[in-house]
């Protein structure tokens, strides 16, 4: 067996072998009854299977739409372009939507990248930090703060997705594919996602409500969020929007210019 190189070089060669970029590291491996190159391939296949399974779990709706055979191709190409840089695979699929958006074979499926975004946001909502919802006392105190001085901190698990496609309808149909499939090029959908009682909940909202919540989440004051929403729909009513957020436990703190209320 040749002299072993420095640790960093050996690690790099092993990483290259796991990604299918040569098997130079095999010369430093004791096969223990098996050809060293064959032992490297066992590791490579195990890593590929584990990472593909992680992507399949993260992108269950994409998997349901494209099928097992094509998803394997998609996963192989994704792993090559976006290799995992961490032993924790929870963030491994974070670039999948961008990858799908430029993948030639699915370019005609214009909705698929947004479906991937929805899948990823579901995982993000499930893994987000927890926070205690604002209580009745805080809500009452906030009610007397001028809207232009009031800001709202939303729950960390709350995420938003705007799509030109019927992404939530597609997701729900994939969960229970009965009746005709929704038209993916149908009306735009504005989706809220959050974690509630350990599960991810999703709902569609109107465009004005979406813009209001988006503005609040960006740290803008309530008056500005209301103005943003009414630019979309002059009839937008702020009160039910805030009431729904409170009822769902999605407001965790009210802030005014002097600090927390």
SS (H, E, C) 160-220: EEEECCCHHHHHHHHHCCCCCCCCCCCCCEEEEEEEECCEEEEEEECHHHHHHHHHHHCCC
* Mean pLDDT, residues 197-206 taken together: 96
Lowest mean pLDDT among 45-59, 96-110, 179-193: 179-193
Q: Is 50 a residue whose pLDDT tops 60?
A: yes
Mean pLDDT of the chain: 89
Mean pLDDT of 164-178: 92
Task: Write down the pLDDT at residue 46.
Answer: 81
More confident of the two residues 173 and 257: 173
Question: Which residues make Cβ contacts (< 8 Å) with residue 142, sequence separation at least 6?
Answer: 134, 150, 254, 256, 261
Q: Could you tell me if 151 and 256 are in contact, meaning their C-beta atoms sit under 8 angstroms apart?
A: yes
pLDDT band at residue 177 under the 50/70/90 scheme: confident
- Are 251 and 152 in contact by the 8 Å Cβ rule? The answer is yes
pLDDT band at 1 (very low <50, low <70, confident <90, very high): low
In the chain, % of residues over pLDDT 90: 70
Other beta carbons less than 10 A from residue 235's beta carbon: 6
pLDDT at 185 over 80: no
CA distance 97 to 112: 8
Each domain of the chain, given as residue ranges in start order, spans 1-109, 112-261
Q: Could you tell me the pTM of the whole model?
A: 0.87
For 201, list phi and psi in degrees, rounded to 5: -105, 145
Nearest Cα to 166, choosing from 110, 212, 243?
110
Check whether 259 has a pLDDT greater than 60.
no
Give percent of the chain with pLDDT exceeding 70: 85
pLDDT at 99 over 60: yes
Q: For position 124, what pLDDT does the model report?
A: 97
pLDDT number for residue 29: 67
- Please report which confidence band the pLDDT of residue 135 belongs to, taking 50, 70 and 90 as the band edges: very high
């Amino acid at each position: 067996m040749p002299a072993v190189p420095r640790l960093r070089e050996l690690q790099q060669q092993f990483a290259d072998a796991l990604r299918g970029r040569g098997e130079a590291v095999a010369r430093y491996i004791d096969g223990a009854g098996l050809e060293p190159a064959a032992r490297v391939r066992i590791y490579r296949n195990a890593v590929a299977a584990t990472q593909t399974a992680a992507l399949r779990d993260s992108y269950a709706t994409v998997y349901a739409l494209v099928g097992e055979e094509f998803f394997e191709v998609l996963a192989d190409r994704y792993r090559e372009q976006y290799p995992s840089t961490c032993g924790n695979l929870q963030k491994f699929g974070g670039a999948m939507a961008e990858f799908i958006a430029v993948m030639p074979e699915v370019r005609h499926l214009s909705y698929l990248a947004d479906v991937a975004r929805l899948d990823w946001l579901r995982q993000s909502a499930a893994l987000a930090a927890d926070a205690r919802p604002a209580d009745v006392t805080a809500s009452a105190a906030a009610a007397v703060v001028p809207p232009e001085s009031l800001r709202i901190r939303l729950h960390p698990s709350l995420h938003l997705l705007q799509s030109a496609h019927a992404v939530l309808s597609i997701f729900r149909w994939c969960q229970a594919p009965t009746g005709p499939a929704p038209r993916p090029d149908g009306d735009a959908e504005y989706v809220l996602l959050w974690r509630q009682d350990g599960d991810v909940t999703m709902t569609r909202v109107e465009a004005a409500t979406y813009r209001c919540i988006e503005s609040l989440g960006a740290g803008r004051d309530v008056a500005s969020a209301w103005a943003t929403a009414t630019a979309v729909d002059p009839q937008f009513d702020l009160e039910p929007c805030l009431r729904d957020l409170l009822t769902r436990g999605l407001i965790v703190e009210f802030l005014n210019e002097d600090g927390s209320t």
